[in-house]
Amino acid sequence: MMPSSSIPQTPLSTHLVLVDALPNEILRPHVRVTPVLKQHLSSGQMNLTAIINTHHHWDHAGGNDKTLSDFKNLNLKVIGGKDCQSVTSTPKHGETFQIGSGISVKALHTPCHTQDSICWFMQDGDEKVVFTGDTLFIGGCGRFFEGTPAEMHKALNETLAALPDDTKVYPGHEYTKQNVKFLVTVLQNDAVRNLQKFAENNEQTQGKFTIGDEKDPVIRKVTSKENPVDVMGALREMKNAM
Ligand SMILES: [Zn+2]
């Protein structure tokens, strides 16, 4: 079954140990997780075969070289966007591959936060998850460091919105509390109130909300814009200014 034991690193990235039946594999190790990986490996219940990154930023991929050197004998692959540290393979948009004995992985290119951003959709039987890096958070999205509102609109409202509604969302950071502070200024409804309550009572929210939860057409109205790309740009600017 997947996933996962999660290794929260707030305010830095969240790292997830992705566990399949056997052999097991690891997702996105980082310099800080080496001791945890060693512990899992020494238990004999896991194989470590690859690092998977969502984008090149240091707090997501900056530990690759250290991890590679810590586990030199394992010849780990580094799967991620083209600018990730020591990347060895960048699957094309829509390309799929398998890890472990039963987890299928699909690369979803979502350029905007960085041009090399890739969200990873994974399925194990009926269980579906997406690792969204800094593209989609619970109740918010990443900054447009290398992209445009049109690109984020496509990433969120076309690429990720096309995933099954029951796909659990695993973002790269635990930003839900901050996102809710902004959300309540632009939208007051039951979904936002529920999210606010959940974030107040839980330190970790990744994997607790789904793609279906992230869809809310009402939010458009607060920007007084009609075109969805303009809405995306206006919302991001409102949040940047907060
Ligand atoms: Zn980032």
pLDDT tens by residue, 94-147: 999 988 777 899 999 999 999 999 999 999 888 899 999 999 988 888 999 999
CATH assignment at residue 212 = 3.60.15.10
Range 43-62 average pLDDT: 86
C-alpha of residue 171 to centroid of ligand 1, in Å: 11
The one catalytic residue among 15, 109, 153, 173: 173
User: What DSSP element (H or E) covers 104?
Assistant: strand 103-109
Determine the Cα–Cα distance for residues 24 and 1; give it in Å rounded to an integer: 10
Residue 60 appears among annotated catalytic residues: yes
Q: What angle do CA 96, 99, 105 make, to 5 degrees?
A: 30
Residues of the domain holding 139: 5-240
Please tell me the total count of domains within the chain: 1
Residue 113 appears among annotated catalytic residues: yes
The single-letter DSSP state of residue 138 is: T
Which residue type sits at 195? L
Q: Tell me the two tokens of residue 228.
A: 């969805």
Residue 57 appears among annotated catalytic residues: yes
Residue 233 Cα to chain centre, angstroms: 21
Determine the Cα–Cα distance for residues 20 and 24; give it in Å rounded to an integer: 5
> Residue 8 pLDDT more than 80?
no
- Of the two residues 135 and 18, the one the predictor is more confident about is 135
Q: Across all residues in the chain, what is the average pLDDT?
A: 81
| pLDDT given for residue 66 in this prediction | 86
C-alpha of residue 231 to centroid of ligand 1, in Å: 22
- Predicted TM-score (pTM) of this structure: 0.83
Q: What's the start-to-end Cα distance of the chain, in Å?
A: 41
Q: What is the largest CA-CA distance in the chain?
A: 57
The one catalytic residue among 15, 56, 113, 153: 113
17, 26, 62, 68, 77 from 71: Cα distances, Å = 16, 13, 16, 5, 11
C-alpha of residue 113 to centroid of ligand 1, in Å: 7
Range 26-34 average pLDDT: 53
Cβ-contact 102, 88 below 8 angstroms: no
Cβ-contact 22, 182 below 8 angstroms: no
Range of 15-19, 155-159, 236-240 with top mean pLDDT: 155-159
pLDDT category at 4 given cuts 50, 70, 90 is very low
pLDDT, one tens digit per residue, over 147-163 is: 999 999 999 989 999 99
C-alpha of residue 28 to centroid of ligand 1, in Å: 14
C-alpha of residue 93 to centroid of ligand 1, in Å: 19
| Nearby residues of 221 by Cβ (< 8 Å), 6 or more positions away | none
> Residue 31 pLDDT more than 80?
no
